[in-house]
Structure 1
Amino acid sequence: MESAVTEIFYRLSTAFFWPVALALLALFVLSLADLGSLLVQSRRRAASPRSDLPALANALAAGLRRGAPAQLHTLPMSPALARFWGLLEGRLARLDSHEHLDLWLDETLQREEMRVANRLDLTRTLVRIAPMLGLAGTIIPLGPALQSLLAGDMAGMVNHLVIGFGAVVCGLVLGGIAYVLTLTRERWARADLKEMENLCELVLRALPAAGAQA
C-alpha cells in the first residue's frame, strides 16, 4: 500500500513538471517584453509635457463663462490627463444641468481607478506566483534526482539538479521583474489619478464661479 501511494505521488509530481516549466519560460519571456515596454513608456513620460493646473483652471472658468466647453487640448497636459479630459469634454457639452455633475465625476474617477487596478493585477499576480512556480520547478526534479542517485547514475542526478536550480533562478528573476513593474506602474498611476482628481475639482470650482458671473 505504501509503495502504491508513493508511486502515485511520484507520478503526479513528475506530471506537473512540464506545465510548470513551460509556464515559467512563457511568463519569463512575457515579463522581459513587458519590461521593454515599461522602458519605452518611461522615456515617453519623461518627454511628455507636465500639466499646468493654473492654466487649466483659467481656461475652464473662461469657457464656462462663455457657456461653451473649455478647449484645454492646446494647454500643457500629460497624456493620461488629456485622455481623461477627452472623456469629460463630451459629457460637459451634452449636459443640460450641472446639478449632479459631482456624482458623475466621481463615477468617472472610479472607472479610471478600476481600469488602472485591472492593468496592475497581472504583474501583482506574477509577484506572488513566480516564486511558487520557481519552488515547484525546483522540488519536482528532486524525486528523479534521488532515484538517479540510488541507481548510481550520477550524471542523471546532476542533470535533474541543474534543472531544479535553473527553475528557482528563473522564478526569482521573474518575481523581481514583476515587482519592479508593479511598483513603477503604481507610482505612475497614483500621479495620473491625482491629476484627474485635481481636474475634477477644478471643474466643480469653476461652475459656481461661472454661475455667479453670468
Structure 2
Amino acid sequence: MTIQYLIESALYSASQLFMLPVLLAVLLMFFYAFYAVGAFLWQSRQRRQQLPAAYDLLASWQTSPQMSAVELEALAFKRLEAPRIVTRVTPMLGLVATMIPMGPAIKSLADGQLAQVSDHLTVAFSAVILSLVAASLTYWVVNVRRRWYAEELVMIEQAQRGASNTAPLAAGLPDAAHDLVTETA
C-alpha cells in the first residue's frame, strides 16, 4: 500500500461518514421550509385582516415604543436569520449530498453493478431536489418578509419623527398602523 492509496482511502471514508448527517440536515431544512411557508402564510393572512401579528415590527414597537429604529432593524434581521441561513446553506448541503454517492456510483458502474449505480444516483438526485425546493421556498419567504419589515420600519420612523401632516401617512396604513401614527403625532 502506498501513501497515496492510504490518503485516498481515508478521504473516501471520511466523506462517507458525512452522508447520513448531511441527509438528515437536508430533511430538517426541507421540513423547516414548509414550516416557514406556513408561518409566512399565517402572517400574510393576519396582515390582510389588519391584525397585529407576532412577527410584525409594528406590534413589537407598540409593546415597546422606546425601541429605536436600529433596534427594530436588528429585530427584523434576527427574525429573518433562520430562513436566510436555510436559503443559503441548503443548496450547499444538496451539492454535498449529491457528490458523496457519486463515488460509489462510479465504482459500481465500473464493476458492472447497474442496480447499485441506480440506488446511489437516486439518493444523490433526491437530496439535491429536496434541497433546491427548500431553498426556493425560504428564499421567497425571506424576500417578502424583508419588504414587509422595510415598509414597517418606514412607517415607524415616520411615526417617531412625529410628522406634522399625519393624514397622508395614515391614509394608506392598516388600522393598527393608522392608530400608531395618529397616537404618536
The Cα offsets for residues 40-70 of structure 1, whole Å up to 9 and x where unpaired, read as 11011011079xxxxxxxxxxxxxxxxxxxx
In the alignment, which residue of structure 2 is the partner of 1:87?
Answer: 64
1:120 is displaced (CA, Å) by 1.0
CA distance in 1 between partners of 2:64 and 2:164 (Å): 16
1:86 is displaced (CA, Å) by 3.5
In the alignment, which residue of structure 2 is the partner of 1:127?
Answer: 87
Unaligned residue ranges in structure 1 (runs of 5+): 51-78, 89-104, 207-214
Q: Number of residues paired by the alignment?
A: 161
In the alignment, which residue of structure 2 is the partner of 1:36?
Answer: 38
CA distance in 2 between partners of 1:117 and 1:168 (Å): 28
Unaligned residue ranges in structure 2 (runs of 5+): 167-185
Task: Give secondary structure in 2 for the equivalent of 1:133.
Answer: helix
Structure 1 length normalisation: TM-score?
A: 0.69
Whether 1:201 aligns to 2:165 is no
1:110 is displaced (CA, Å) by 1.3
1:135 is displaced (CA, Å) by 0.4
Task: Give secondary structure in 1 for the equivalent of 2:162.
Answer: helix
Structure 2 length normalisation: TM-score?
A: 0.80
1:179 is displaced (CA, Å) by 0.6
Aligned Cα RMSD in Å? Answer: 2.3
CA distance in 2 between partners of 1:83 and 1:146 (Å): 55
CA distance in 2 between partners of 1:14 and 1:82 (Å): 48
Aligned residue identity for 2:120: H
Distance 1:82 1:3, change over 3 A: closer
Aligned residue identity for 1:10: Y
In the alignment, which residue of structure 2 is the partner of 1:5?
Answer: 7
The Cα offsets for residues 155-183 of structure 1, whole Å up to 9 and x where unpaired, read as 11110001001111111111111110110
1:81 is displaced (CA, Å) by 2.9
Identity of aligned residues (%): 31
